[in-house]
Amino acid sequence: MSGTLTRLILCLGVIIGMVPIYVVVVMAVANQASGDYDTPFLVAGAVTGLCFMASWNMVWRTQVKWTNARIGLTTMLLPASLLLAVVAYGVVVAIESHATEVGIVLGTIAWAAGWLIGTALIWRETKPERAARLRAHGVHALPCPQCGYNLTGLTQTQCPECGTKFTLDQLVADALDQRAEASV
Ligand SMILES: [Zn+2]
């Protein structure tokens, strides 16, 4: 199974796994606070939301190129997505002032959706990053210094196209020069 497929299944598992956590916490807190309908949903929303964020980060952590900008934006995403939750709650209560539990549940969903969409945008690979990654692993990673034939995967240092023999240090030096030029 490829790493990407594993990660997608993990994501699905994380999202589905939040349902039993939410339900169990709602029931447990409701037992303690009988007659109070808001607290169970508030506590369950907070617990589930934090579990979700933590497991989401664990699934994707190694895939994200952590620049200072990404770390800063991801940190700001927590208050931003919580603000989204407050707005969703406010909208529901403005429409129907007694529907506070509905507001809390929708606020929790808004928080999770904000976190999902926000991380997808912030953690996305930029075009220059993608170009650098493809250059590093790409098919033209090691062209013959003489004729440009792709030497990737060869177990000897003679170019099969033009027949020129190289030493390893010549090939390495040439590849480093090429990359330095490409990244300017
Ligand atoms: Zn060659």
Q: In which band, very low, low, confident or very high, does the pLDDT at 87 lie, cut at 50, 70 and 90?
A: very high
pLDDT in tens, 19-70: 999 999 999 998 887 778 899 999 999 999 999 999 999 999 888 989 999 9
End-to-end CA distance of the chain: 37
Q: How many CA atoms lie within 13 A of 111 on its CB side?
A: 23
Task: Record the tokens describing residue 178, joined without a space.
Answer: 């090429």
Measured at the CA of 126, the angle between CA 13 and CA 81, to 5 degrees, comes to 50
Token pair listed for 23:
């339900």
pLDDT at 52: 93
Spacing, Cα 158 to ligand 1 middle (Å) = 8
Q: Which burial class, exposed, middle or buried, applies to 101 when counting CB atoms under 10 A from its CB (0-12, 13-18, 19+)?
A: middle
Calculate how far, in angstroms, residue 154's C-alpha sits from the geometric centre of ligand 1. Answer: 12
- DSSP classification of residue 126: P
Dist CA 38 CA 152 (whole Å): 62
Residue 137, pLDDT above cutoff 70: no
- The mean pLDDT value for 87-94 works out to 96
Does residue 78 contact residue 48 with C-beta atoms inside 8 Å?
no
Task: Please state, in angstroms and rounded to a whole number, the distance separating the CA atoms of residues 9 and 49.
Answer: 19
Percentage with pLDDT > 70 across the chain: 91
Cα 159 to averaged position of ligand 1 atoms, centre (Å)? 5
Q: How far does residue 146's CA lie from ligand 1's centre (Å)?
A: 5
H helix intervals, the chain? 3-32, 38-60, 68-95, 100-122, 127-137, 168-182
The more confident residue out of 83 and 148 is 83
User: Which residue(s) pair with 158 in the sheet?
Assistant: 165
CA–centroid distance, 148 to ligand 1, in Å, is: 6
- Asked if pLDDT for residue 150 goes beyond 80, the answer is no
Measure 129 CA to ligand 1 centroid, in angstroms: 29
Note the pLDDT of residue 41. Answer: 93
Tokens of 168: 């390893």
- Mark the residues whose beta carbon lies below 5 A from ion ligand 1: 144, 146-147, 149, 159, 161-162
Q: What is the pLDDT of residue 128?
A: 73
Taking the centre of ligand 1 as the mean of its atom positions, its distance from the CA of residue 156, in whole angstroms, is: 13
**Predicted local confidence at residue 131, as pLDDT:** 64
